[in-house]
Amino acid sequence: MRPRAVGVPRAAIGIAVIAAVAMAVPVVALLARVDPGRLPELLTSDSALTALRLSLLTTSVATVICVLAGVPLALVLARCSFPGKAFARGLVLLPLVLPPVVAGVAVLSAIGRRGLLGATLEAWGVELAFSTAAVIIAQVFVAMPFLVLSVEGALRGDDGGDDVAAATLGASPAQVFWRVTLPRLAPALAAGTVLVFARALGEFGATITAAGSLQGVTRTLPLEIYLQRETDPDGAVALSALLLAVAVVVIVVTYGRQRTGPWRRRPGPDPASVEWAAPRPGAALSVRAVVPERGVDVELDIAAGETVAVVGPNGAGKSTLLSVVAGVVHARGCAVSVGGEAVETAPPHRRGVALLTQRGHLFGHLTALDNVAFSLRGPDRRARARGVLRRLGAETWRRRYADQLSGGQAARVAVARALAAQPQVVLLDEPLAALDVASAIDVRAALAELLEPCTVLLVTHDAADLSALADRVVVLEEGQIVDEGSVPDVLTRGRTTYVTHLGSSGSY
Ligand SMILES: Nc1ncnc2c1ncn2[C@@H]1O[C@H](COP(=O)(O)OP(=O)(O)OP(=O)(O)O)[C@@H](O)[C@H]1O
């Protein structure tokens, strides 16, 4: 069910209709000029078929190259910081604004006989200029920016929270890329691929400049149309209609998938439930979090199996402390050890620490069940995942995707996913904040039981969490520990205004 859209101003609708008609007129005019009687003969001429074959071949190869090279390029531009990044980005996107003929001259200057790489290529016995390879190079050069723009835009638009969640569930950077980042990018990648294909298919200026017009070698369909325009206008019209049809088919095939909503992986068969075994006992945690740019300077030791609640006003540094333990935030003065082993230089997936943030970050392309099974191994992983969901009272929604769950339901599934990973240390950042009162009571009770053997660092603003879950409480203010002790002691002392309010909030 789609929510009703907010109304659109009448003027916008009027202008949109005029714009759509203006875009449609040339296409209709072209189709009107096609002579259906002569179409088979015109389209099956030797020159037309040769040009079509060459166009489809070069465009397909160029599209594959753009996808294989463009996705890593977009990833680096979106996610890495390095000197000269703005310049590198400008360079990659430059062909977008270059006149195609200039792009062709640039390609020829690189691969031509007297070009920058010409002598080296010749020494290797490779001659690229005016070859089919030159057509592909020209197409890649002009089309690549479309893919980079689409994918980089999608990457910049998200905060990388899903990737962090996956890493703290034990996924290596390569697994995060294949299992989480790429599926999330699928719609942008599909859109970018269509644009690349369309741009490469229609490429003319750069191709004729860098590769010439040799029949069967470099004369692609747009070049054939241009040449036929002089000698056989009807043939040119027929070929134009053919190019139009190919472009429409590509767009329909690719965008057709998107009409069914976001990309989702089809779930496997519904598994039988396997009773969830008790969580693995936790390990001792020791952390020194010194992050001057956030004003945080905290040292904390937690015994194996202990649950420590961290409380404090907004901006006190609670989430930063958790991020340091998880390996998401790094600073020179930080040290973290899990089970006596120093892990501050280890990447998040090697720390044995699961981080559950306020937003949960369920993976949108997976069902609730497959989210929970994400970190599990073995043939019965989905059955065990169902057992964990059952323990959290979330089994009913196992076949739903993240966008089909309410905030509270998603929070339960996210808790199940974090606990299923059996981490040595569990980091919970306000895990119950999205739940209604009744659900919070249920999940809190389940957590109290399930977290019993675990080492837990829990950030909360709710006094009910303290009494139900915490063995000890630590109070943070402006990045420093200002009090710590047993829950009743700290709340009774009420050393800060925040703690006084927390103690009198009624839920304790
Ligand atoms: N990504 C960031 N870059 C720079 N500074 C940040 C970033 N995230 C948080 N900070 C700053 O670090 C300090 C601690 O923030 P943090 O999110 O750890 O507080 P918090 O106690 O978790 O707050 P809340 O209860 O609102 O979640 C704040 O001053 C905040 O402005």
What pLDDT does 320 receive? 94
- 274, part of any domain: no
What pLDDT does 476 receive? 94
What pLDDT does 134 receive? 93
Residue 439 — pLDDT band, cuts 50, 70, 90? confident
Could you identify the atom of ligand 1 that is nearest to the CA of residue 479? 14
434-450 average pLDDT score:
83
Among protein residues, the one with the nearest Cα to ligand 1's atom 14 is: 317
Q: What is the mean pLDDT of the chain?
A: 88
- 10, part of any domain: no
Residue that terminates a domain, selected from 223, 258, 293: 258
Residues 242 and 306 in one domain: no
Q: How far apart are CA 70 and CA 274, in angstroms?
A: 43
- 86, part of any domain: yes
Judge whether residue 68 has pLDDT over 60.
Answer: yes
Q: Does any ligand 1 atom lie closer than 6 A to the CB of residue 320?
A: yes
Residues 236 and 293 in one domain: no
Could you identify the atom of ligand 1 that is nearest to the CA of residue 321? 18
What pLDDT does 261 receive? 56
Q: Which residues contact 319 (CB under 8 A, 6 or more apart)?
A: 357, 429, 459
- 4, part of any domain: no
- Contact indicator for 451, 279 with CB cutoff of 8 Å: yes
Residue 495 — pLDDT band, cuts 50, 70, 90? confident
Could you identify the atom of ligand 1 that is nearest to the CA of residue 291? 12
Judge whether residue 1 has pLDDT over 70.
Answer: no
Ligand 1 centre to CA of 289 (Å) is 13
- Reported ipTM: the value is 0.95
Q: Tell me which range, 136-150, 332-346, 453-467, is most confidently predicted by mean pLDDT.
A: 136-150
Q: Does any ligand 1 atom lie closer than 6 A to the CB of residue 315?
A: yes
What pLDDT does 505 receive? 67
**Residue 476 CA: distances (Å) to CA of 309, 313, 457, 499:** 10, 8, 13, 10
- 409, part of any domain: yes
What pLDDT does 508 receive? 52
Q: Does any ligand 1 atom lie closer than 6 A to the CB of residue 359?
A: no
Residues 333 and 395 in one domain: yes
Ligand 1 centre to CA of 315 (Å) is 5
Ligand 1 centre to CA of 335 (Å) is 19
- 371, part of any domain: yes
Residues 122 and 59 in one domain: yes
Residue that terminates a domain, selected from 258, 293, 315: 258
49-55 average pLDDT score:
92
- Contact indicator for 452, 297 with CB cutoff of 8 Å: no
- Contact indicator for 109, 115 with CB cutoff of 8 Å: yes
Q: How far apart are CA 168 and CA 163, in angstroms?
A: 9
Q: Does any ligand 1 atom lie closer than 6 A to the CB of residue 312?
A: yes
Ligand 1 centre to CA of 479 (Å) is 10
Residue 255 — pLDDT band, cuts 50, 70, 90? low
Ligand 1 centre to CA of 318 (Å) is 8
Could you identify the atom of ligand 1 that is nearest to the CA of residue 461? 25
Residues 239 and 310 in one domain: no
Residue 506 — pLDDT band, cuts 50, 70, 90? low
Residue that terminates a domain, selected from 198, 223, 258: 258
Residues 102 and 236 in one domain: yes
Q: Determine which of 130-139, 224-233, 276-285, 411-420 has the lowest per-residue pLDDT on average.
A: 276-285
Q: How far apart are CA 305 and CA 14, in angstroms?
A: 66
Ligand 1 centre to CA of 158 (Å) is 18
Residues 245 and 331 in one domain: no
What pLDDT does 246 receive? 83
**What is the domain count for the chain?**
2
- Contact indicator for 357, 341 with CB cutoff of 8 Å: no
3-state helix/strand/coil string of 309-336: EEECCCCCCHHHHHHHHHCCCCCCCCEE
Domain CATH for 82? 1.10.3720.10
Residue 191 — pLDDT band, cuts 50, 70, 90? confident
Residue 66 — pLDDT band, cuts 50, 70, 90? very high
Q: Does any ligand 1 atom lie closer than 6 A to the CB of residue 317?
A: yes
- 269, part of any domain: no
Domain CATH for 316? 3.40.50.300
Residues 123 and 174 in one domain: yes
Ligand 1 centre to CA of 395 (Å) is 34
Residue 260 — pLDDT band, cuts 50, 70, 90? low
Ligand 1 centre to CA of 459 (Å) is 13
123-146 average pLDDT score:
91
Please provide the size of the chain in residues.
508
Among protein residues, the one with the nearest Cα to ligand 1's atom 2 is: 294
What pLDDT does 282 receive? 86
Residues 52 and 168 in one domain: yes
Judge whether residue 223 has pLDDT over 90.
Answer: yes
Q: Determine which of 243-247, 261-265, 474-478 has the lowest per-residue pLDDT on average.
A: 261-265
What pLDDT does 176 receive? 93
- What residues make up the domain containing 374? 285-503
- Contact indicator for 474, 481 with CB cutoff of 8 Å: yes
Residues 289 and 375 in one domain: yes
Residue 475 — pLDDT band, cuts 50, 70, 90? very high
Among protein residues, the one with the nearest Cα to ligand 1's atom 28 is: 315
358-415 pLDDT, tens digit each: 788 999 999 999 999 999 988 889 999 999 999 888 899 999 998 898 877 888 899 8
Residues 153 and 218 in one domain: yes
Mutation pick for ligand 1 pocket among 318, 461, 478 (CB with most ligand atoms within 8 Å): 318
- 44, part of any domain: yes
Task: To the nearest 10°, report the CA torsion of 356, 362, 367, 371.
Answer: -40
Judge whether residue 285 has pLDDT over 90.
Answer: yes
Residues 226 and 347 in one domain: no
